[in-house]
Amino acid sequence: MGEIAFGLPQWIALILLSLIRQSSGDFPSGVCSSLPMLRALRLADNDISNGFPEDLFNCSFLGELNFSHSGLTGAVPDLSQLQSLHMIDLSNNFFTGEFPISIINLTNLEVVNFNENPGFDLWRLPDTITQLKKLEVLILSTTSMRGEIPPWIGNMTSLIDLELSGNSLVGQIPATIGKLENLQFLELYYNHLSGEIPDELGNLTRLVDLDMSENYLTGRIPEKLCALSGLGVLQLYSNRLTGGVPRELGNSTVLSILSLYGNFLTGELPPDLGRHSKLIVLDVSDNQLSSQLPRDACAGGELLYLLVLDNHFTGELPETYAQCNSLLRFRVSNNKLNGSIPEGIFGLPHAWIIDLGFNRFGGTIAKTIGNAKNLSALFLTHNLLSGALPPEISWATNLVKIDLSHNLLSGPIPSEIASLYKLNQLSLQENKLDSSIPASLSLLKSLNVLNLSNNYLTGEIPDSLCNLLPNSLDFSNNRLSGPVPLPLIKEGLIESVYGNSELCVPFHLNMVKPSLPLCPKPGIRKGLNNVWVIGVCLMFSILAVLLALKRWFGEKNVVIEQDGLPSSPSFVYDVTSFHKLSFDQHEIVEALMENNIVGHGGSGTVYRIALSSGEQVAVKKLWSRATKNPSPNQLYLDKELKTEVETLGSIRHKNIVKLYCCFSSMDYKLLVYEYMPNGNLMDALHNEGSFLDWPTRHRIASGIAQGLAYLHHDLLFPIVHRDIKTSNILLDEDFEPKVADFGIAKVLQARGDRESSASVIIGTYGYLAPEYAYSTKATTKCDVYSFGVVLMELVTGKKPNEPEFGENQDIIHWVSSKMGTKEGAMDAIDKKLSWSPFKEDMIQILRIALRCTCRSPALRPSMNEVVQLLNEVDPSKFDVTGSFKFKHLAGIKG
Ligand SMILES: *[C@@H]1O[C@H](CO)[C@@H](O)[C@H](O)[C@H]1NC(C)=O
Ligand SMILES: *[C@@H]1O[C@H](CO)[C@@H](O)[C@H](O)[C@H]1NC(C)=O
Ligand SMILES: *[C@@H]1O[C@H](CO)[C@@H](O)[C@H](O)[C@H]1NC(C)=O
Ligand SMILES: *[C@@H]1O[C@H](CO)[C@@H](O)[C@H](O)[C@H]1NC(C)=O
Ligand SMILES: *[C@@H]1O[C@H](CO)[C@@H](O)[C@H](O)[C@H]1NC(C)=O
Ligand SMILES: *[C@@H]1O[C@H](CO)[C@@H](O)[C@H](O)[C@H]1NC(C)=O
Ligand SMILES: *[C@@H]1O[C@H](CO)[C@@H](O)[C@H](O)[C@H]1NC(C)=O
Ligand SMILES: *[C@@H]1O[C@H](CO)[C@@H](O)[C@H](O)[C@H]1NC(C)=O
Ligand SMILES: *[C@@H]1O[C@H](CO)[C@@H](O)[C@H](O)[C@H]1NC(C)=O
């Protein structure tokens, strides 16, 4: 419950408060008639379901009106009668209709804040706003404003804070803004502004924070602007700026955030940068900057982000960086840096990304890596690093990704690496590693990519490594010997062992090119003494290899069409397999019985089948096109099937459901998937009696995010799933999530690929990104939106649409209305988790969810960023960065 404060005796205030409590969120009727002297209405962070008090205009002495984060909808009433108003804060609501221009008649206004009301009709700032001679704060960000920034804005010299971000503003930044002598905050990011940054901004002697990022600005960064002695935050990222970074910034005593990434800046960074001020963020990635890195960047001891990737920096890493213990992200990849890497860099205690890839670094990987207790990603690829990989790396237990490929590393792969239980990627290819492969690697339960190709590895491929299948494994081009483990062949991964001349296969594989020799004692290996089984396995193996090769050589038709076989009996199947097949189709067909049915989907029936091998599979049966004149619905199902098979068949990721194979006959088609014993996330979250604790929910969130990030960012042609929702997330025996149901997924072949047919209903109500209302363009940001909804469900335990959210309201509105206050946010958390010690983390996740569900797709993070943000939900880390404004975290690349 909010607070009502006014210039009247306290006891009246108390009466009023209790009145409001009783009416559970609604205004008591006649507030203003009974309290005509009311001076302030502060009801921020409440759900006021009945909107403004109906007798508001009887509050004629009202000075403050603060209904921010109140879930208000509809039109803003004409407020021009409330002549005493000096403060209006209606930020973060869902108003629609016309912007209440009438407020410009309220000449006493000092503060106007309509931040984040994206539902207004497009409007322009009228020149009459200059009547507001006392106005100090004007925040109109994300209010659907369009047109140019009018030059007479320079007449509003009382302004201290001017924020017009997130609108559709075009044209140049008027030079007259330089006349706003009191201005401290100028926020114009996320617009379509063009032209040069006027030199006159250098006249804003009180300026503290300037952000004009994400526009189309050209020309140079004015030196006079950079010389402003109070400028603490300068963000101009994602523009088209050229020229140098002014040296004046090196003299600043207050500069803390400098974010200039994504421009065409050249020359060197000011050599003094950070010497006189405490830098927190330095992000100049993706420019054409050269020369040396500033050696004092961390002199203030508070630097969290040092991001200079994708430039032309040369020389060595300053030794001073090795003492920069505050660093969280250290990324200098894609430059021309050389010399050896100072030992302390590897051991930065809080860093969670160390990215030095694509440079010319020599020397070794220091043992100090064992001190990097928070490190999640170590990228050193494409350098000249030599020596052995120190076993101490296994002490950096938070490592998720290690990429040391394309270096000159030699010696053994330390078997201790197996204790890195979070490890997802281990890329050691293109080095000179020369030991045997430690069998312990099979303990890496989270591993998804293991690439050991192009080294000098010897010995056998440990059988146990096949536990890691179906992940991506690559042992090619080494000096390995002995038999190729059978599962590798069965999964069609024979190419992963090519280039090892002493490897052999247990039976003859005709199709393999170059062929591998037969092992000295062909055939029977332990545990496989049944000749029949070998025969079947052999058939399928060869088939699998054939198909793998077929796919490998770029043939597209994965589903073999049926049309040419009109008289085939219905039990004749074409089989397309993508993974190991330890069963045959007859076994499956015979088990398609009523009592094995576990569900009916929109497109078919789902069975759970226990195979004689003891394994369980899920089988989806879809009816084939049976008639000569198929209905549009049948055609659609065919298309859906094809999409599912083509997309899923080519994907291997631990968080994406495995499609083993596809049988197709005259009558129906069968898709055989891995069976997920814990059902779907919707049931696990919302069914009575089921309970997921927070660590499990967080693991589920981050698993889904990794699966989606893989689809969006790791494939040659990104895949958009388009129907992410809790019922499409399946849970395996360890509650590891797997994304399923790719029926309407879309492969983005080229940028801007458009869905031609708008008639197909895509996605699910409650999870659909708002841009679908006016466009059927499939983008990865649509999945990000739906994922945001799933995150909210995970934290709140609520469904996307619940009656309690109110009419036409959904979980997103509900969550954002709660997030304004700590109590509100706490209240949004699933009651089942109320005892949990991780509540701060949960609120942080809700913040991420809100970003994912921004109305504007451009403001949503990418799935890669989401993975990192979820990774970062370690309260201790957030304490450090928590001092930034929200948008500052958004303004960091890498
Ligand atoms: C309105 O209320 C919110 C929540 O109490 C507060 O954060 C905000 O600063 C207030 N607005 C103004 C302009 O004071
Ligand atoms: C304002 O108060 C007067 C008298 O108290 C009442 O007659 C009138 O209806 C009220 N106006 C509104 C808009 O409620
Ligand atoms: C402002 O007040 C004037 C005179 O009272 C009136 O004519 C005008 O329509 C008002 N403007 C707006 C935008 O309400
Ligand atoms: C702004 O100020 C200039 C000069 O003082 C004046 O000529 C002009 O009319 C003003 N414009 C507005 C819209 O107030
Ligand atoms: C503002 O800056 C411009 C260019 O930097 C300069 O020509 C002009 O005289 C300045 N105006 C004032 C009022 O200082
Ligand atoms: C930095 O400050 C020094 C000392 O005040 C001054 O001599 C120098 O010109 C300044 N450099 C720049 C680029 O403004
Ligand atoms: C690093 O590169 C610079 C040229 O950019 C060269 O002068 C220097 O000798 C190189 N240092 C090492 C250690 O290779
Ligand atoms: C990670 O960093 C935080 C501070 O940012 C620190 O308190 C915490 O101990 C670190 N975690 C580990 C495992 O070292
Ligand atoms: C392993 O790395 C090599 C060299 O970088 C690459 O060509 C190959 O595709 C990778 N293997 C897999 C399975 O991704």
**What pLDDT shows up at residue 67?**
87
Running DSSP on this structure, what letter comes out for residue 15? Answer: H
CA separation for the pair 274, 269 (Å, rounded): 11
Q: 332 in a domain, yes or no?
A: no
* 3-class secondary-structure state, position 122: coil
Q: What is the pLDDT of residue 350?
A: 93
Residue 306 domain flag: no
Mean pLDDT value across residues 579-588: 66
pLDDT digits over 75-92, tens only?
Answer: 998 898 899 999 999 998
Ligand 5, atom 12, residue with closest C-alpha: 203
From residue 478, give the alpha-carbon distance in Å to each of 265, 338, 386, 435, 648.
44, 29, 18, 10, 31
Report the pLDDT value the prediction gives residue 589, as an integer from 0 to 100: 79
621 is in an annotated binding site: yes
Q: 810 and 858, same structural domain?
A: yes
Q: Could you give the CA distance from residue 250 to residue 277 in angstroms, rounded to a whole number?
A: 8
**Does residue 476 sit within a domain?**
no
Under 8 Å between Cβ of 382 and 406: yes
Distance from the Cα of residue 869 to its chain's centroid: 7
Decide if 732 is inside a domain. Answer: yes
Q: Is residue 578 included in any domain, yes or no? A: yes
What CATH number corresponds to the domain at position 658? 3.30.200.20
**Per-residue tokens: 553:** 């050589």
Same domain, 832 and 699: yes
Query: Does 621 reside within a domain?
Result: yes
Regarding whether 609 and 730 lie in a shared domain, the answer is no
pLDDT digits (tens, 9 = 90+) for 225-250: 999 999 999 999 989 999 999 999 99
What atom in ligand 9 is closest to the CA of residue 406? 5
- Give yes or no: residues 723 and 802 share one domain: yes
Q: For residue 534, what are the domain limits?
A: 518-552
Q: Hey, which of 157, 173, 200, 226 would you mutate to test ligand 5's pocket, going by the most ligand atoms within 8 Å of its Cβ?
A: 200
Which residues' Cβ are closer than 6 Å to ligand 8?
350, 373-374, 876-877, 880
What is the rounded distance in angstroms from the CA atom of residue 449 to the CA atom of residue 569? 43
- Tell me, what's the pLDDT at 412? 96
SS3 per residue for 398-419 = CCCEEECCCCEEEECCCHHHHH
Select which of 723, 741, 783, 830 is catalytic.
723
- Residues 532 and 668 both lie in one domain: no
The pLDDT assigned to 574 comes to 46
User: Are residue 564 and residue 603 in the same domain, yes or no?
Assistant: yes
Co-location of 545 and 562 in the same domain: no
DSSP assigned state of 120: B
Q: How far away, in angstroms, is 332 Cα from ligand 8 center? A: 22
Please name the helix (run of DSSP H) or strand (run of DSSP E) that holds residue 125, with its range, or none.
none
pLDDT digits (tens, 9 = 90+) for 270-309: 999 999 999 999 999 999 999 999 999 999 999 999 999 9
Domain shared by 622 and 760, yes or no: no
Which residue's CA lies nearest to atom 3 of ligand 5?
200
> Is the CB–ligand 5 distance for residue 199 below 6 Å?
yes
Q: How far is the CA of 127 from the centre of ligand 3 (A)?
A: 14
Shared domain for 717 and 828, answered yes or no, is yes
Task: Tell which one of 107, 128, 155 to mutate to probe ligand 4, the residue whose CB is within 8 A of the most ligand atoms.
Answer: 155
DSSP letters for 755-786: -----S--S-TTT--GGGGT-----HHHHHHH
CB 294 within 8 A of CB 274: yes
Which residue's CA is the closest to the ligand 3 atom numbered 5?
105
> Which of 760, 855, 850, 859 is CA-nearest to residue 814?
850
Shared-domain flag, residues 746 and 832: yes
Look at residues 561, 570, 811 and name the one whose alpha carbon lies nearest to residue 685.
811
Band (pLDDT 50/70/90 cuts) for residue 654 is confident
- Boundary (domain end) residue, out of 649, 674, 699: 674
For the beta carbon of residue 423, count every other beta carbon within 10 angstroms. Answer: 25
Residue 354, domain member (yes or no): no
Q: What is the mean pLDDT of the chain?
A: 81
Residue 721's pLDDT is: 86
Q: What is the CATH number of the domain that holds 859?
A: 1.10.510.10
Q: How many domains does the chain have?
A: 3
Q: For residue 338, give the ligand nearest its CA.
A: 7
Same domain, 777 and 702: yes
Annotate 69-80 with b (16+ C-beta within 10 A) or e (fewer).
Answer: bbbbbeebeebe
Q: Given pLDDT bands bounded at 50, 70 and 90, which one contains residue 762? A: low
Single residue among 674, 702, 721 that ends a domain in this structure: 674
CA of 692 to the centre of ligand 8 (A): 26
Question: In 10 A of CB 264, how many CB atoms?
Answer: 13
Closest ligand to the CA of 129: 4
Ligand 3: residues whose CB is within 6 Å?
80, 101-102, 104-105
Which of 618, 641, 674 is at the close of a domain?
A: 674
Would you say the CB of residue 251 lies under 6 angstroms from ligand 6?
yes
- How far apart (Å, rounded) are the C-alpha atoms in residues 85 and 57? 11
| Any domain includes 151 | no
Ligand 9 site, residue 472, Cβ cutoff 6 A? yes
- Cβ of residue 453 lying under 6 Å from some atom of ligand 9: yes
Clarify whether residues 742 and 619 are in a common domain: no
Verify whether residue 723 is a known catalytic residue: yes
